[in-house]
Amino acid sequence: MHFEGRQGETIINTIICTVGASLRKLCNMTSSGITDRLLNLNDPIGNREFGAEINSLASILSQSVLSSRDYLYFLTSDTEEGKKIGDALKLFFDCSKDMSFKNVSVNAISDLDDSRPDDFQNKGLRNLVKRIAEIYKHHMDNLLINATGGYKAQIALSLAFGMGVKIPVYYRFETFDGVIKLPPMPLSLDVELWLENKGLLDTLEMNSVINEKDLEREYDYRINFSSLPAEIKLLIDREQDSVGHMLSLSPMGEVFVQACRLSLGKLDVEASLKDSSVPIENRLKKSSKEAHSNKMISDNQSFIDKLLSIPFIEEVLVRGSSQKFDRNEFVCKQFGEIIKARYSTRGGTLYMEIRTTARNPYELEKAVEVINRYLL
């Protein structure tokens, strides 16, 4: 939910704060013991015994940036030390006379643990971005990010996300007396680039790691990595192992996907899908030679009819089928200018391409959204 004050000024009432290990020296105490120690200290901006998180938050509050102190989210590492520090910070801001918030929560980010480097890189950093995006969806532009605490990669990704969706990001350099608001980067998200490669990027976003061959088999999408735009290659980690090339979305790729997905809703773009002039009975295209596909269509006619009846559908081309069945599932994704769909039921899996009246990437994204919502 987005709130504005007088003259359209955005109201800030929420802070996301990344958490590091600046209070590590107190971790031989309980969380409540740490909090008691902190509550008896003075000068939360200048006294380094408070730790980087309290120093920076106190500095932000002193600048009267917030219109009210409604929500404070601490994002910690997936370690016992990180969770203890997070709990201590929550207690502090629950109990502080001058710096309390109405709602304080601690969010331990799964796999954000530098003692497990592979999980940290492939899962933890991406989970951090996903959690920031979830909080942003709830509060929209009514929040700011305090990226002072945490791993350097954690700070960099928080900064990149904030810049991507254009919300304020604050940071306190170690030698500075207080926080500074980091200036926005002279960059803008290329939402059209995301839309043009959305199927691939969304598929990678759903999987921590996926083999190129599995991508083709599971999602009916053959990737020619060398032909991908250079900007997209930068967002994908690709490594060779004994079973082929393994692909994963890089942490910065996660920032790009999440920020584009959230920013699309802010764009003033007309995405009105015209009704198709093709009669419903002429929209299904299939091969008479595909016996298994035709049996699946016949056995699932009500589902097929529902798909064909969507007003903006021009054509549903059944490309083939397989005996494979893991679970009942309908997956519909945008790959370039094509919508690909996979329908799995106990009889097997149908692979389809869907053509619509969409005239641009924004309308195509809207078509995918409507198809998924209508059929799921």
134 in the same domain as 251: no
202 in the same domain as 170: no
Is residue 274, in this structure, part of any structural domain at all?
no
328-355 burial code (b ≥16 CB/10 A, e <16): eebbbbbbeeebbbbbbbebbbbbbbbb
166 in the same domain as 94: yes
Residue 249, classified by CB atoms within 10 Å of its CB into exposed (0-12), middle (13-18) or buried (19+), is buried
Is residue 273, in this structure, part of any structural domain at all?
no
- For residue 199, the enclosing domain spans 191-264
172 in the same domain as 25: yes
Q: Which of 147, 181, 215 is the last residue of a domain?
A: 181
Domain harbouring 51, CATH code: 3.40.50.10770
Per-residue pLDDT of the chain (376 residues; tens, 9 = 90+): 544 544 446 789 999 999 999 999 999 999 999 999 999 999 999 999 999 999 999 999 999 999 999 999 999 999 999 999 999 999 999 999 899 999 999 999 999 998 999 899 889 999 999 999 999 989 988 999 999 999 888 888 988 898 888 899 999 988 888 899 987 665 667 888 888 888 788 888 888 888 887 776 665 566 777 788 889 988 999 888 877 888 899 999 999 999 888 877 655 444 578 999 999 999 999 887 778 888 999 999 999 999 999 999 999 999 888 887 777 889 888 877 788 898 998 888 999 999 999 887 778 888 888 898 888 7
pTM score: 0.74
Is residue 229, in this structure, part of any structural domain at all?
yes
Q: Which of 159, 181, 203 is the last residue of a domain?
A: 181
219 in the same domain as 117: no
User: How many domains are there within the chain?
Assistant: 3
DSSP-derived 3-state class of residue 266: coil
Is residue 366, in this structure, part of any structural domain at all?
yes
Residue 98, classified by CB atoms within 10 Å of its CB into exposed (0-12), middle (13-18) or buried (19+), is exposed
Is residue 186, in this structure, part of any structural domain at all?
no
371 in the same domain as 252: no
152 in the same domain as 64: yes
256 in the same domain as 113: no
Cα within 13 Å of Cα(198), Cβ side: 26
174 in the same domain as 195: no
DSSP 147-212: --SS-HHHHHHHHHHHHHHT--EEE--TTSSS-EEPPPPS----HHHHHHTHHHHHHHHH-SSEEH
344 in the same domain as 258: no
206 in the same domain as 61: no
224 in the same domain as 121: no
Residue 27, classified by CB atoms within 10 Å of its CB into exposed (0-12), middle (13-18) or buried (19+), is middle
| Alpha-carbon distance values, 197 to 150, 330, 365 (Å) | 32, 20, 11
Domain harbouring 246, CATH code: 1.10.10.10
Q: Which of 240, 264, 288 is the last residue of a domain?
A: 264
